[in-house]
């Protein structure tokens, strides 16, 4: 039960602090005064979606907090902050929590019923959900959902495998062809690099021989050879070093220089004696390079990529061979998960049918209290067989609410024949008969009286007043018949302060409440007679 509500910088609300009482709290005011903002603040405390648009112009953030008395008698503080940039934070007893956690806690403490909620009745697909809520079949629904997810996952995996198996033969041929093409070539990593170097040598054999022979002769042969001349130079440098010690370090490099030049000579010598110019070998190398180039274009761009692709093709070929084994295992899994789903769905169906009659009876009684004493209500199940494609995580049932508001008329689909006012009362009756909340929970009704008036409105007020004996009720209403049933009355209005519009909420005393009820009856031009009538309504027996 909400003891205290604080709203700062939310929409047109600057600062609003509200103490809520037990019983039926009614919230009234002109259209657009800001009543729905208060309800929206409670929605945020239940983990509803936050937006930067909610923050009051010029403020850094909006803050909504509530002190709630829990069913065990302790107090809990819920707080939600929404920044002007759209980010939000949630707190429970000043500890930061996730929005999901706030949503779970808020749902246990606050139940919101919006002004357009009755419109869900126009969609027959929602009727099973309402029946399940009435019958408290959440555990059975969860079992069906888990079983359904497992079955669909297995069935999807099998369908994917079977689709692959349908083209397995073709795919196997493609894989085998590609693998054979690579195996026939049998490339090695960097083979093309080695062959390109060999091609270069073979294609330029004569030129290489001439360059090597001339270089070897000038380096190693004859009196003018570089190595002979260098030896004479070292002797002179050695003599110089005895005269000038600064030349001594150069002598230390002599062996290294000689060694490098000798290695160069040894490298030149075989080429100087002649390079085999084999046209046959050159043709072989060029043919091999051309073949490698073709295989790289298909599976490359490098030979390393081609080698990797060959390994992948071998693995894919192996997997294609084991597909039948995996298919058998998946078929068994689909059969088992399907059976588990059918079992869970059957149990859920049986429980739904068991509770459907009780729901219809309870709704007829509840609607009689809402000035619909002759209505009839049924939950109609479609008993025709359903195909697997129609199964869902809600089970295999198809059901719809059937309704008749007038004696002598047969029941027909509720979504097609009920008026807006009748839908509002059906939804209110549903919500009240499913209100099994423990004492201390807060139920919020935002203009659920839409489309009704007269006796029906009076009955709705009485029903809300009765519901408030089980839980705290906050009702936003435009109808004086409902407002007079409140145990506590609050008025929302807009005022202008320092050029800024702000919404305020005032708790009304007896006289102010009579004036507000009178305004709701005829508007702003309230006569003494109307005011007296409002006082008499407030002093009526239902108070």
* Segment 436-465, tens digit of pLDDT: 555 668 888 887 776 667 777 888 888 888
Pull the structure tokens for residue 4: 């205290």
Report residue 14 CA to chain centroid gap.
Answer: 34
Residue 26: the pLDDT is 93
Tokens 């709701």 found at = 520
Tokens 């929590």 found at = 97
DSSP 29: -
Helix extents (H) in 369-471:
414-417, 420-433, 454-467
Q: Is the pLDDT of residue 196 over 90?
A: no
Q: What is the pLDDT of residues 363-401, one digit of tens each?
A: 998 888 777 888 999 999 998 888 898 999 999 999 999
| CA dihedral over 382, 384, 385, 386, signed as positive or negative | negative
Q: Is the pLDDT of residue 116 over 70?
A: no
| 124 three-class SS | helix
Q: Is the pLDDT of residue 501 over 60?
A: yes
**CA distances for 413 relative to 377, 437, 470, angstroms:** 10, 30, 32
Identify the CA nearest to 397 among candidates 353, 442, 334. Answer: 353
Residue 326: the pLDDT is 64
Is residue 113 within 8 A of residue 434, CB to CB? The reply is no
Give residues with Cβ within 8 angstroms of 184, minimum separation 6. Answer: none
H/E stretch holding 354 reads helix 303-368
Pull the structure tokens for residue 109: 């403490």
The torsion of the CA quartet 148, 153, 158, 161, rounded to 10 degrees, works out to 160
Q: How many angstroms separate the CA atoms of 447 and 201, rounded?
A: 94
Average pLDDT, the chain: 85
Q: How many angstroms separate the CA atoms of 140 and 249, rounded?
A: 95
Q: What is the mean pLDDT of residues 110-126?
A: 76
Q: What is the pLDDT of residues 148-187, one digit of tens each?
A: 999 999 999 888 877 766 777 777 788 889 999 998 989 8
Tokens 């309800």 found at = 39
Residue 323: the pLDDT is 54
Identify the CA nearest to 443 among candidates 7, 4, 26. Answer: 26
Q: Is the pLDDT of residue 132 over 90?
A: yes
pTM score over 0.75: no
| CA dihedral over 175, 181, 186, 187, signed as positive or negative | negative
Q: What is the mean pLDDT of residues 106-125?
A: 77
Q: Based on the number of CB atoms within 10 Å of its own CB, is 461 exposed (0-12), middle (13-18) or buried (19 or more)?
A: buried
Across the beta sheet with 110-113, what order do the strands follow? 110-113, 442-446, 472-476, 24-28, 488-497, 500-507
- Give 3-state DSSP helix, strand, coil % of the chain, rounded to 5: 60, 20, 25
Q: What are phi and psi of 410, to 5 degrees?
A: -70, 155
Residue 236: the pLDDT is 85
Q: What is the pLDDT of residues 273-311, one digit of tens each?
A: 655 667 888 888 888 888 889 999 988 889 999 999 999
Q: How many angstroms separate the CA atoms of 531 and 519, rounded?
A: 9
Q: Is the pLDDT of residue 543 over 60?
A: no
Q: What is the pLDDT of residues 4-20, one digit of tens each?
A: 999 999 988 989 899 99
Is residue 192 within 8 A of residue 286, CB to CB? The reply is no
Q: What is the mean pLDDT of residues 72-86?
A: 91
Q: Is the pLDDT of residue 334 over 90?
A: yes
Residue 330: the pLDDT is 86
Q: How many angstroms separate the CA atoms of 521 and 535, rounded?
A: 12
Residue 474's region, left for phi above 0, alpha for psi from -120 to 50, else beta, is beta
> Which band of pLDDT confidence, cut at 50, 70 and 90, is reported for residue 201?
confident
Q: How many angstroms separate the CA atoms of 89 and 297, rounded?
A: 56
| CA dihedral over 138, 143, 144, 148, signed as positive or negative | positive
Pull the structure tokens for residue 428: 């209110």
Residue 149: the pLDDT is 96
Q: What is the mean pLDDT of residues 410-432?
A: 82
Domain range annotation of the chain: 1-115+431-503, 171-319, 508-543
Q: How many angstroms separate the CA atoms of 214 and 208, rounded?
A: 10
Q: Is the pLDDT of residue 484 over 80?
A: yes
Residue 75: Cβ within 10 Å count = 11
Is residue 450 within 8 A of residue 118, CB to CB? The reply is yes
Q: How many angstroms separate the CA atoms of 447 and 216, rounded?
A: 106
- Domain 1-115+431-503 class in CATH: alpha beta
């Amino acid at each position: 039960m909400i003891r205290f509500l604080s709203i700062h910088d939310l929409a047109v609300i600057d600062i609003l602090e509200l103490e809520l009482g037990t019983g039926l709290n009614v919230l009234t005011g002109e259209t657009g005064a800001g009543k729905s903002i208060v309800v929206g603040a409670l929605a945020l405390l239940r983990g509803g979606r936050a937006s930067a648009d909610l923050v009051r112009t010029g403020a850094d953030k909006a803050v909504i907090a509530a002190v709630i008395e829990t069913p065990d008698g302790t107090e809990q503080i819920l707080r939600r902050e929404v920044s002007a940039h759209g980010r939000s934070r949630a707190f429970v007893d000043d500890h930061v929590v996730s929005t999901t956690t706030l949503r779970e806690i808020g749902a246990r403490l606050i139940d919101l019923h919006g002004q357009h909620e009755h419109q869900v009745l126009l969609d027959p697909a929602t009727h099973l959900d309402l029946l399940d809520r009435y019958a408290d079949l959440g555990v059975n629904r969860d079992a069906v959902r888990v079983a359904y997810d497992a079955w669909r996952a297995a069935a999807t995996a099998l369908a994917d495998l079977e689709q692959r198996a349908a083209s397995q033969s073709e795919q196997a041929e493609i894989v085998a062809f590609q693998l054979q093409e690579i195996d026939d070539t049998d490339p090695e990593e960097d083979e093309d690099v080695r062959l390109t170097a060999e091609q270069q040598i073979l294609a330029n054999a004569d030129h290489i021989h001439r360059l090597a022979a001339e270089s070897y002769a000038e380096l190693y042969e004859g009196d003018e050879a570089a190595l002979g001349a260098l030896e004479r130079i070292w002797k002179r440098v050695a003599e110089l070093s005895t005269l000038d010690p600064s030349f001594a370090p150069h002598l230390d490099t002599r062996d290294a220089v000689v060694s490098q030049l000798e290695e160069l000579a040894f490298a030149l010598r075989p080429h100087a004696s002649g390079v085999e110019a084999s046209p046959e070998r050159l043709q072989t190398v060029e043919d091999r390079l051309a073949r490698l180039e073709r295989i790289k274009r298909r599976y490359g761009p490098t030979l390393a990529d081609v080698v990797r692709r060959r390994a992948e093709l071998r693995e894919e070929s192996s997997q294609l061979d084991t597909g039948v084994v995996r298919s058998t295992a998946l078929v068994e899994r689909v059969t088992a998960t399907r059976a588990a789903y059918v079992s869970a769905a059957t149990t859920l169906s049986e429980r739904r049918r068991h509770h459907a009659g009780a729901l219809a009876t309870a709704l007829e009684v509840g609607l009689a209290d809402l000035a619909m004493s002759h209505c009839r209500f049924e939950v109609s199940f479609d008993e025709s067989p359903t195909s697997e494609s129609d199964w869902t995580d809600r089970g295999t049932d198809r059901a719809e609410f059937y309704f008749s508001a007038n004696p002598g008329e047969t029941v027909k689909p509720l979504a097609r024949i009920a008026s807006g006012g009748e839908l509002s009362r059906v939804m209110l009756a549903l919500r009240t008969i499913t209100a099994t909340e423990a004492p201390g929970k807060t139920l919020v009704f935002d203009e659920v009286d839409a489309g009704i008036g007269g006796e029906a409105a009076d009955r709705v007020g009485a029903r809300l007043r009765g519901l408030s004996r089980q839980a705290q009720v906050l009702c936003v209403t435009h109808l004086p018949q409902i407002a007079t049933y409140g145990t506590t009355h609050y008025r929302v209005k807009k005022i202008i302060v320092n050029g800024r519009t702000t919404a305020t909420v005032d708790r009304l005393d007896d006289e102010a409440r009579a004036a507000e009820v009178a305004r709701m009856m005829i508007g702003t031009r309230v006569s003494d007679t109307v005011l007296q009538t409002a006082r008499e309504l407030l002093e009526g027996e239902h108070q």
